[in-house]
Amino acid sequence: MNSFGVVLLPTASAAMRAAKVLGSASVRCTLIPTPRELSKDCGLALRFDWAQAERVRALLLGAGVQNAELHCL
């Protein structure tokens, strides 16, 4: 399987906000259960195409989404 990016956020609400920010910028992303290799958290994370990582990072920063961690899996 190709590598993909995951955004980890501190709360499910923050994940929803991030999904809206990326969706409104036409960046394809999917809400997924947080991958266990990244966190023991039982919450939500965002999956996206890692090739878009810099754009995702900039969009989230620009929208004031705090404490977003980007990982490549």
Q: Is 20 in the site for another protein (CB under 8 A)?
A: yes
DSSP three-state, residue 53: helix
13 lies in the site for another protein, by CB under 8 A: yes
Check binding of 15 to another protein (CB under 8 A): yes
CB of 45 to another protein, least distance (A): 8
Touching another protein, residues 50-69 (CB under 8 A): 64, 67
Q: Which helix (H) or strand (E) holds 5?
A: strand 5-8
* 33, β-bridge pairs: 44
Please name the amino acid found at residue 39. Answer: S
